[in-house]
Amino acid sequence: MTAAIQQYLVITGNYWAFTLTDGALRMLVVLHFHQLGYSPLEIALLFIFYEFFGVVTNLVGGYLGARMGLNRTMNIGLFLQILALGMLAVPAAMLTVPWVMAAQALSGIAKDLNKMSAKSGIKLLVPDEQQGKLYKWVAILTGSKNTLKGVGFFLGGVLLMAAGFTGAVIIMAVGLAVVWLASLFLLKQELGKSKAKPKFREILSKSRAINVLSAARMFLFGARDVWFVVALPVYLHTVFGWDFWQVGGFMASWIIGYGFIQTIAPRITGSSNTHTPGRGPAVAWAAALALIPAGIAAGLTAGLPAQPVIIGGLLLFGVLFAVNSSLHSYLIVSFARGDGVSLDVGFYYMSNAAGRLLGTVLSGWVYQNHGLEACLWMSAALVATAAALAAALPEKQAVQPQQA
């Protein structure tokens, strides 16, 4: 086993463990506070700091990763998540809205430090001429992460029923602490440290390709979260009458399938070491995705049976969204510069977090005031905007095979 593969496995393992707790915590908060009588908009507001500080963290975290090394930013992210879980393991009387929002803010910082470190680290482990391998490694990391996030959704619902809210967060904090201690010893010390110390003003990207791709990413993830984060779980529970474990189990299954599609996205889009996807596929796959939420909304408006329309449409949405997400994740790592990669990746995932923030707030507000159909139409419009932005990307050149 080469040193690069060893580091890839450590990074992936860290990312998996973190994602498991992150997905479970998301489901715990949504279901627990819905059970306490919070409205969809109030639940959405609990996640505002989570998403807002994700924006800030990605912007500053890329700079920190280039200055300090990605091993340190990844381990700091794990530690902050442990603290966030500890903040929620308090008596129920202390779980006020400001307290939960503060804990979610800490969790948002932790999540995006961890993600930025993992995605940036992959770029440094694969030679520039092996773009096909880079696409596959990014797809595996991203897809497996989302599969684990789906398991986390299911785990959150199960733990809420089995151990209660406080017991669930304590169990997750202890498990993550073990992973953090192992990571301190296993991650390479100088991973991702820039040779030329970047200036703080360099946190804003100067690359047109990265700026355009970042804007497309913001609208793409806003389109997912505008109906997926708050509107869909609440709809499944209140309209379909599903129990918490059924809601968590269904959304977990969706995320697991979505993650699997991400891992095989290079096969779906067609790639090799000499040919990887660029602007054309990014536009085409986004345009196809925009049709799905519009079709679901039209079906509901026409009075078609809600369960098959929503469930079937959600499955199609998951397949197309997975391919879009995997394409974007590869393109940002490919476009990013080699030295100080975390600056470009951090800027890009700042836009990702901004999209989630936009989608989360809209999910609660639009659903509460206008219903699920309006969330779906909003989703279609946001995806269409992402497709239009992708059309402005520069075309990637085919990679020449390395000389023997």
Residue 377 token pair: 């139409």
The mean pLDDT value for 192-196 works out to 50
Q: What is the pLDDT of residue 355?
A: 85
The reported pTM is 0.67
pLDDT at position 404 is: 29
Whole-number pLDDT of residue 238: 82
Residue with tokens 């807002």: 52
Checking phi first, is residue 340 left (phi over 0); if not, alpha (psi -120 to 50) or beta? Answer: left
Number of domains in the chain: 1
Average pLDDT on 153-161 reads: 77
pLDDT computed for residue 97 by the predictor:
77
Q: Which of 96, 340, 77 is nearest to 199 (CA)?
A: 340
pLDDT of res. 399: 37
CB 377 within 8 A of CB 229: no
pLDDT tops 80 at residue 207: no
* Residue 398 belongs to a domain: no
Domain of 44 in residue numbering reads as 3-390
Q: Per-residue confidence at 63, pLDDT binned at 50, 70, 90? A: low
Locus of tokens 């269904």? 250
Residue 157 has pLDDT above 80, yes or no: no
Which residue, 85, 80, 130, is CA-closest to 109?
80
Token reading at 363: 């999910």
- Is residue 66 a part of any domain in this protein? yes
> Which DSSP state fits 354?
H
Residue 403 is predicted with a pLDDT of: 35
- Which pLDDT score is estimated for 130? 59
The whole-angstrom separation of Cα 295 and Cα 304 is: 11
Q: What is the CB-side half-sphere exposure of residue 68 using CA atoms within 13 A?
A: 15
Q: Which residues have CB under 8 Å from 350's CB, separation 6+? A: 54, 55, 56, 58, 59, 214
Mean pLDDT along residues 19-31: 81
Return the higher-pLDDT residue of 33 and 191.
33
Decide which of 136 and 73 is more confident: 73
Whether the per-residue pLDDT at 60 is higher than 80: the answer is: no
pLDDT of 68-120, one tens digit each? 667 777 788 888 889 988 888 888 777 777 888 888 888 888 877 777 777 66
Q: Indicate if the pLDDT at residue 291 is higher than 90.
A: yes
Which pLDDT value is given to residue 384?
Answer: 93
Q: Is residue 402 part of a domain?
A: no
DSSP per residue over 181-224, as a string? Answer: HHHHHHS-TTTT--SS---GGGGS---HHHHHHHHHHHHHHHHH
CB 18 within 8 A of CB 74: no
* CATH number of residue 255's parent domain: 1.20.1250.20
The pLDDT assigned to 359 comes to 86
**What's the mean pLDDT in 134-157?**
71
Q: Angle, to 10 degrees, between the axis of helix 48-68 and the axis of helix 341-370?
A: 180
- The two three-digit tokens of residue 113, written as one number: 């430090």
User: Distance between CA 404 and CA 392 in Å, rounded?
Assistant: 36
Residue 403: inside a domain, yes or no? no
Q: Two tokens at 175?
A: 């498990």
pLDDT at 402 over 50: no
User: Residue 114: inside a domain, yes or no?
Assistant: yes
User: What is the pLDDT at residue 400?
Assistant: 36
Tokens (6 digits) for 90: 């308090």
The pLDDT mean for the chain works out to 76
Q: Is residue 118 part of a domain?
A: yes
Quote the radius of gyration of the chain (alpha carbons, Å). Answer: 20
| Spatial CA neighbour of 62 closest among 141, 135, 121 | 121
Longest dimension (CA), the chain: 67
Distance CA 125, CA 172 (A): 30
- Separation CA 78–CA 21 (nearest Å): 10
DSSP 404: -
Most confidently modeled range among 34-38, 213-217, 269-273, 392-396: 213-217
In a domain, 332, yes or no: yes
Q: What percent of the chain has pLDDT over 90?
A: 5
**pLDDT of amino acid 350:** 76
Task: State which of 94-108, 294-308, 318-332, 350-364 shows the largest mean pLDDT.
Answer: 294-308
Q: Of the spans 71-85, 256-270, 288-302, which averages the highest pLDDT?
A: 288-302
pLDDT tens digits, one per residue of 309-330: 988 988 899 889 888 888 877 7
Tell me if 397 is assigned to some domain.
no
